[in-house]
Amino acid sequence: MKQIDSISYPIYFNSIAEKLDKFIEDGKYSRFFILTDEHTALHCLPLITDKVNPDNYDLLEVSAGEESKTIDFCIGIWKMLIDFDADRNSLLINLGGGVVTDLGGFAASTYKRGIDFIHIPTTLLSQVDASIGGKTGIDIDNLKNIIGTFTQPKAVFIEHAFLETLPARQIKSGTAEMLKHGLIADADYWHALKNSNLEKPEAELVYQSAVIKNKVVTEDPSERGQRKILNFGHTIGHALESYSLDHDKNPLTHGEAIAAGMICEAWLSHQKCDLPAADLDEIVSTLLAIYGKYQVKEASFVELRNIMKKDKKNQGGKINCSLLTKIGDCRIDNICTDDELCDSLRYYAQLEYARV
């Protein structure tokens, strides 16, 4: 069983059976609470509750989906903790995808000015991304993570077995962040990953992705500088995700939106940071083959740009992107003009894509 030592806490791999009970016992918590959504309550909770004393915990549940990542659901969690008389020495276990870990982390970091929490991420996306790095957050008016804190969990437990319960589209959503980790920091990993079976990512590749994410956040916990490389593909990707959530009946997943954002921002990288044309082609063909193409229309550009203007990385009203210099290397703080951003969307819109 593997373990990564993060900023101030361990990330355990495939260790719930052996380590969770002892972790709770050693923490001398007065009690603990498990936050789930209806899916993780059904598919993942038994693995936890089999291992711990049933007298010591209570269950909290929110609805599955990004719609739960709001202040209203956060207030719901606070009120449940109040009703259960949760004291400062309580522990919150966030069992779910990124929505549950971000929302639960924010609720815990502010309840009675902060109680301990741990993450047990159950989606690939949250295993390789959301659960690592101490970001908590909720959305307001579809602005993702506009409110939150930097608060580290006390531990993260990553279980490969949970991935077997996931639909294929959710697995693909997670592999987008894994591919991003290769693009921004490790060309070998990118090549290994894109040539692997992405429908069933191997445990070793999941582990390596967590290692990359952890290395970046450990060196810059509060995102003053280099941590921003993780935002490659996200300036445009987040805008597409918000836009799609507002306009589409079947909205893009996070990974699908970020894949489209990475194509646009790879094009910007080619224009502004000398990303070689061969690298751009490789990125575009790889991502299109996996994620297909989203219909982006010229009429949506104004709204997309307005969403980008709210991006947390911006300073002084300027839109700030993290761009690639080559596959495996990323440079932060590239100011992009409105024209450049629109041109990157136009580039994406004109790509030819033959469904395979």
Told to judge if 213 belongs to the known catalytic residues of this protein, a careful annotator would answer yes
Which of 9, 78 has the CB closer to a second copy?
Answer: 78
* Token representation of residue 351: 């790509």
From 181, 234, 270, 331, the catalytic residue: 234
Q: Is 113 a catalytic residue?
A: yes
Please tell me whether residue 301 binds a second copy under the rule CB under 8 A: no
Among the listed residues 149, 165, 218, 325, the single contact to a second copy using CB under 8 A: 149
Catalytic residue among 94, 214, 231, 334: 231
DSSP element (H, E) containing 77: helix 71-83
Q: Are 209 and 181 in contact (CB under 8 A)?
A: yes
150 scored as a contact of a second copy (CB under 8 A): yes
Which member of 19, 39, 181, 238 is catalytic? 238
Catalytic residue flag (residue 31): no
- The two tokens of residue 260 are 């489209």
Per-residue contact track with a second copy, 246 to 275, x per CB under 8 A? Answer: ------------------------------
110/165 with CB nearer a second copy: 110
Residue 40 has φ and ψ, to the nearest 5°, of -70, -25
Give 41's contacts (C-beta < 8 A, 6+ positions apart).
Answer: 59, 61
Active site residue 223: yes
Q: Residue 172 has which token pair? A: 């693909």
Query: Which CB sits closer to a second copy, 71 or 245?
Result: 71
At residue 320, φ and ψ (nearest 5 deg) are: -120, 120
Among 79-87, 166-174, 204-212, 229-237, which window interacts with a second copy (CB under 8 A)? 79-87
Q: Is 69 a catalytic residue?
A: no
CA distance 62 to 76: 9
167 binding a second copy? (CB under 8 A): no
Q: Is 231 in the site for a second copy (CB under 8 A)?
A: no
36, β-bridge pairs = 61
Amino acid at 270: H
Q: Is 231 a catalytic residue?
A: yes
Structural Rg of the chain based on CA atoms: 20
Q: Which entry of 69, 119, 144, 227 is annotated as an active-site residue? A: 227
Query: Under rule CB under 8 A, which residues in 311-350 are in contact with a second copy?
Result: 312, 314-317
For residue 223, the SS3 value is: coil
Q: What CA–CA distance (Å, rounded) separates 143 from 266? A: 24
Q: List active site positions.
A: 113, 135, 177, 213, 223, 227, 231, 234, 238, 254
